Structure 1
Amino acid sequence: MHHTKITLENGMRAITVPMKDTKSLTLLALFGTGSRFETKKTNGVSHFLEHLFFKGTKSRPRPGDISQALDDVGAEHNAFTAKEYTGYWVKAASHHFPLALDIVSDILLEPLFKEEEIEKERGVIFQEMNMYLDTPRRYVHDIFESLLYGDEPLGWEIIGTSGSLQGLSRENILTYRKSQYIGSNAVLVVAGAFQEEDALRRVEQAFVRLPSGTAKSCPPFRESKKRLSPVRLEYKKTDQTHLMVGARGFGMFDDRRYAATLLATALGGKTSSRLFQEIREKRGLAYTVSAITEQFLDTGYFSVYAGVPHQKTKEVVRRIRDEFHNVCTTGITLRELQQAKDFWRGQFAISLESS
């Protein structure tokens, strides 16, 4: 697939991916920062900042102005915060590219961060936190990562804690933004229907005021000297038990990550996988059972998730353990390996159908 990459004077990388036979485009601004770049005191600031960018700019001072401008043309927009990156995107009809670019550059370069909006959004995030606590299928992943990494940034929740969220000040937020939201730490991607030369020119003009410099790096992952508990149980009245089983794996620059991904696919990455067939199809013990790998800069993990009847929890854990043992002793078959590779070839082809 054709693409063009340029680097602006401030260090920001811009990538354009023209696509034929589509009438829309997606614009995504990514920054290489997230909750792993926080301290205990500022835990949650990456996510808080992501929310605040939408709460008014110099040219769109009211919090609803940004959503209104995009809703008026039927565009979709959102943002997300992860442990090592944060993104802001707009998907719109291709002829609205100037508006999409203007919105994304406006929120990132001219935010107001009014005190009253900060306090209102703090309340919104507390409710988001409660929503996650009421969603055990999601919350179990946070618990699992805290078991793997302990009391360090990779083990902390992206949203922060009640204490850290309450303690975040406007000064904390501005300091973090100044440290991390700079050109060399940013990538802008435009994919879809547009004139490439015109798009690159507009991007360069829009983001010329993004500061240059070097962003603060995150501390490298270090094994805890303390022995971490291998199990954590948390009780909440639900209709299912949600469980995860797994171990630390490989980082995003480790070539072994490819083998780990294929193993996860064979074990639980598709409906014909071993665990899906054994736990759901043969025994009816779960609606959802899956295996994934996660990669961070210098570490990662391999995990299996399942939502099961309370009284069948031990049986499901035992069957997952047994499948792990089988893989460790006999591996997967050549046929399973080929099927996993073909699965990802197909998934990759499908992913290229959308911007």
Structure 2
Amino acid sequence: MRFYKKILPNGLRVISVPLKESLTSTVLVMVEAGGKYEEKKEGGISHFLEHMIFKGTEKRKKSMDISLDFDKLGAQSNAMTSYEWTGYFAKAHNRHLGKLMEILSDMYINPTFPEVEIEKEKGVIIQEIKRDEDLPSRNVLRIFMELLYGDQPAGRSILGEEKMIKGVTRENFLNYRKRNYVSSATTVIVAGDIDYKKIESQVGHYFGSLPNTKKDNKPKVADGQKFPKILVKRKKTAQSHFILGFRAYPNKHPNIPTLKVLDAILSSGMSSRLWQKMREELGICYYVKSFLADYSDHGIFAVASGVDSKRVKVAINAVLDEFKKLKIKDVSSEELEKAKESLISNFFMENEKSDELAFYFGEQEIMKQKIKTPEEVEKEIRKVTPTQIRKVAKEIFNNKSLNLAIIGDIKDEKTLLKLLKV
């Protein structure tokens, strides 16, 4: 798969991904602005601003004007905020590509932040926060991040806290946007049946006025630990939801492909180790999933599940046993090949559409990685050996970086802490 990258005179980056015979095109605008770029007093502003970008521009005075312009094209549009970036995208039939780019550029460059809309949207954000509070299977990840990173941006909620949301002003948005939404921190990705030279010209036309002023730098994450840790949020729930995991690698680390295969061995498919142990043998959970999150300067590898509060110890011991097995014995060639095929197939299925590929290429660029095509990723995965998996397991699965976050009706926290040994 080919892609084309160009840096415009104002520093903005353009990634073009031609998809021959694709009937749809996606325009994605990504900016290096997210939870890690926030000061403590403005926690949650990246996500709040993402909402406000849809609330009106000089040309499109109201949010309804933006919505109507997208709907007239039959377009899908949305946005999302992470710790390290915010992205705005629109997708429609190829014939509407130019109009999609015009609408998104207007939203991105000319937002007005109407004060009446800010006040209304505060209620929306606060309800979003409360929704996550009521969903322990989602909220436990926030607790896990707090346990690992404490009172630094990586340890705080991307949504922010209700007190901060209530106090945010139009001036706060203007200041934050001025510091972060600059051309050198922006990447525009276009995927579809396109002419890359024409795309580069169009992006220059619509985004050329974006200023190239100095960009905020995000603070480096403090990522140290010397012994196992636990954080319990006691709550009357039908299940206890937990994440049990370790500090791992940042996104540029050469062991990432190996860790992805290890992840697939643990929980990709119904024949995977965790599924067989937790569901088929013990019958103690509905969901169990391992995952890795690799950020620019730190990483996580963990397992998430939800079980009856009376069986939390059994579940934790079962997961710990699977970690230990990977440290002491090489995986078989048969299991390794199964995991690789599962990982590769899922990877390609997740990157079939124009919007999926836009995010795939865009996230690599925005995270300052060398862009790898899907074919190059497959080659890396194919090369992983049993010896490499065991080596990575020994490196990652260690007591000094082991953490347990749990939400539920838990009374014996000290007993759980004593279990944390690999």
- TM (norm. structure 2) is 0.80
User: For structure 1, which segment, 163-172 or 298-307, has the greater mean C-alpha deviation from structure 2 after superposition?
Assistant: 163-172
Cα distance, 1:195 vs. partner? Answer: 3.5
User: For structure 1, which segment, 333-342 or 166-175, has the greater mean C-alpha deviation from structure 2 after superposition?
Assistant: 333-342
**Equivalent position SS for 2:121:** helix
Residues 1:172 and 1:85: Cα distance change in structure 2 (over 3 Å)? same
Distance 1:295 1:269 in 2: 18
Distance 2:47 2:241 in 1: 25
Tell me which residue corresponds to 2:148: 148
1:78 equivalent in alignment to 2:93? no
User: For structure 1, which segment, 265-274 or 47-56, has the greater mean C-alpha deviation from structure 2 after superposition?
Assistant: 265-274
Q: 1:246-261, aligned counterparts within 5 Å?
A: 246-261=245-260
- Where does the alignment leave 5 or more consecutive residues of structure 2 unmatched? 355-422
Identity over the aligned pairs, expressed in percent? Answer: 36
Cα distance, 1:353 vs. partner? Answer: 2.2
1:9-58 deviation per Cα after TM superposition (whole angstroms, max 9, x unaligned): 11111111111222111111111121011111011111111011000011
Tell me which residue corresponds to 2:114: 114
Tell me which residue corresponds to 1:65: 65
Q: 1:1-355, aligned counterparts within 5 Å?
A: 1-223=1-223, 230-355=229-354
User: For structure 1, which segment, 40-49 or 320-329, has the greater mean C-alpha deviation from structure 2 after superposition?
Assistant: 320-329
Which runs of structure 1 show a deviation greater than 6 angstroms over 4 or more consecutive aligned residues? Answer: none
Distance 2:312 2:243 in 1: 11
Residue pair 1:245, 1:304 contacting (<8 A) in 2 also: yes
**Equivalent position SS for 1:10:** coil
1:58-100 deviation per Cα after TM superposition (whole angstroms, max 9, x unaligned): 1110121111211222211110000011100111111111221
Distance 2:180 2:345 in 1: 37
Residue type of the partner of 1:190? Answer: V
RMSD: 1.7
Distance 2:332 2:290 in 1: 18
**Equivalent position SS for 1:238:** coil
Distance 2:331 2:29 in 1: 40
Cα distance, 1:347 vs. partner? Answer: 2.5
Distance 1:180 1:130 in 2: 28
1:91-149 deviation per Cα after TM superposition (whole angstroms, max 9, x unaligned): 11111112211111011111111111111111110011111111111111111111111
Residue type of the partner of 1:54? Answer: F
User: For structure 1, which segment, 332-341 or 298-307, has the greater mean C-alpha deviation from structure 2 after superposition?
Assistant: 332-341
Residue type of the partner of 2:250? Answer: G
Residue type of the partner of 1:287? Answer: Y
Residue pair 1:10, 1:213 contacting (<8 A) in 2 also: no
Cα distance, 1:198 vs. partner? Answer: 2.5
Residue type of the partner of 1:286? Answer: C
- Number of equivalent positions: 354
Distance 1:175 1:127 in 2: 25
**Equivalent position SS for 2:29:** strand
User: For structure 1, which segment, 154-163 or 252-261, has the greater mean C-alpha deviation from structure 2 after superposition?
Assistant: 252-261
Residue type of the partner of 1:306? Answer: S
Distance 1:188 1:335 in 2: 42
Cα distance, 1:229 vs. partner? Answer: 7.5
Cα distance, 1:269 vs. partner? Answer: 3.2
Residue pair 1:27, 1:91 contacting (<8 A) in 2 also: yes
Residue pair 2:268, 2:343 contacting (<8 A) in 1 also: no
Distance 1:262 1:140 in 2: 25
Cα distance, 1:308 vs. partner? Answer: 1.8
Distance 2:228 2:352 in 1: 44
Residue pair 1:267, 1:274 contacting (<8 A) in 2 also: yes
User: For structure 1, which segment, 98-107 or 197-206, has the greater mean C-alpha deviation from structure 2 after superposition?
Assistant: 197-206
1:203-236 deviation per Cα after TM superposition (whole angstroms, max 9, x unaligned): 11000011113311111122468x7871122233
Normalized per residue, the structure richer in helix is 2
Residue type of the partner of 2:39? Answer: T
Cα distance, 1:245 vs. partner? Answer: 0.3
